[in-house]
Amino acid sequence: MPKQNLTQLGRKVAVPQSPEEAKLEAVPNPHGDVDYVVRFTAPEFTSLCPVTGQPDFAHFVIDYCPAKAIVESKSLKLFLASFRNHAAFHEDCTIEIGKRVAAAIRPKFLRIGGYWYPRGGIPIDIFWQTGKLPKDVWLPDTGVAAYRGRG
């Protein structure tokens, strides 16, 4: 993989106004000779309801086994933050994030869990994955408890 010019790391960068404007950046996998899992957890994700305009909140867990590239984490943080003023349903946000990460790094395996806090009294959890988990790779549980409310 050729060395890429990183445009965000080490620089003051404003949060992109939309996910379409956000740039996910990749860097070469420093351990391409072994299979392993990278986990990103974003427990304070925010987007907007496309009907009411009210904020929606989610806890995301993104796990992937890199191939030639890994996600540059600052670009991921900025990408996720770009959803703050983005109006979309839970399913759309979750799948769009998973597809964008997969397109940016072309991992061997990727799964995303979007654990959305209740809207209308119902929590919605969205799961998507692509690729196959390499043999003998440990993929831990996401660690996100089922929503219990006050029960």
HEC letters along 18-52 = CCCCCCCCEEECCCCCCCCCEEEEEEEEEEECCCC
pLDDT in tens, 139-151: 999 999 888 776 5
Taking the domains of the chain in order of start, what are their residue ranges? 39-65+73-131
pLDDT of residue 74 exceeding 90, the answer is yes
Residue 2: what pLDDT? 44
The pTM assigned to this predicted structure is 0.92
Coil, strand or helix: which one is 90?
A: helix
For the annotated catalytic residues, the residue numbers are 49, 56
Residue 95: what pLDDT? 98
Instruction: Report whether CATH 3.30.1130.10 matches the domain 39-65+73-131.
Output: yes
